[in-house]
Amino acid sequence: MIKILLVDDHPSVGAGTKAMIEQEEDMVVTVTNASINVLEMVGRTPFDIFLFDLNMPGINGLELTRRVMAIHSDTPVVIYTGHDIAPHFNLLVEAGIAGFISKTASQEQLITALRCVIRGESIIPTSLFRQLRRKEVQVATEEGNGSIAEISINEREQRILLEIAKGKGNREVAETLSLSQRTVEYNLTGIFEKLGVRSRAEAIAKARQFGVIPNEPLLDIQ
């Protein structure tokens, strides 16, 4: 029997997905709507696949993946979402996910994807496969005169934004990313200029608005 843990903060989505999957005789799904309960659950029950929503209150899918993979590195994690994951693609891959499944997928597509994951295969949509290890995130901003301008946030800048979103100071960010404090400060200046902001708080807000970093508060892994 293939045991699947589905984590989704929308009860109707969880119930509907469970019903679809369990039409397969060899699959059983446990659903929880609270990501905060997951670490306790996986500590007492073995699962074959983790199926995580990306945008959830408490602990989002990215942070949850990191925490679970630190405990159960051999169990595949699949992101199950209806949101655009392109801005988070690199971070999710680095966190160790086995693939992505859209909530708009048919029952046949969902089951096929899960069986591929069980066989040790990765599930990546073609549009995202082309962005594998993408170094920059492209975002469009509206200028004061109403025109649209494109800016690029590179991988280092994205990592710095993620760390300051956790409330870290420049020295802590530098230590976490193995950079000098001066390099962090230099990059922050560039980020401020690109986003048209004057403070760290404004930079985080703009980065979340543009989808460069997740909207949910980020928790550091202890």
Amino acid at 203: A
* pLDDT for residue 26 is more than 50: yes
From CA 216, how far away is CA 222, in angstroms rounded?
A: 18
* pLDDT for residue 81 is more than 90: no
- The predicted structure's pLDDT at residue 51: 95
From CA 212, how far away is CA 196, in angstroms rounded?
A: 15
- The predicted structure's pLDDT at residue 124: 77
Place of tokens 């594998």: 132
- The predicted structure's pLDDT at residue 23: 94
Taken in order of first residue, the domains within the chain and their CATH numbers are 2-133 (3.40.50.2300), 155-210 (1.10.10.10)
Task: Assign 138 a pLDDT band (cuts: 50, 70, 90).
Answer: low
Residue 207 sits at the vertex; the CA angle it makes with 190 and 84, to the nearest 5 degrees, is: 130
List beta partners, residue 149.
Answer: 141
From CA 221, how far away is CA 33, in angstroms rounded?
A: 21
- The predicted structure's pLDDT at residue 207: 85
Task: Assign 28 a pLDDT band (cuts: 50, 70, 90).
Answer: very high
Task: Assign 221 a pLDDT band (cuts: 50, 70, 90).
Answer: very low
- 168: DSSP letter: -
| 103-124 per-position pLDDT tens digit | 888 899 899 999 999 998 888 7
- The predicted structure's pLDDT at residue 114: 93
Q: What is the pTM of this model?
A: 0.60
Whether residue 183 contacts residue 174, with contact meaning beta carbons closer than 8 Å, is answered with yes
**Residue 79: HSE in the Cβ half-sphere, 13 Å Cα cutoff:** 28
Reference 5, options 105, 23, 37; nearest CA is: 37
- What token pair was written down for 220? 């550091």
pLDDT: is 197 or 128 the higher one? 197
User: pLDDT exceeding 90 applies to what percent of the chain?
Assistant: 34
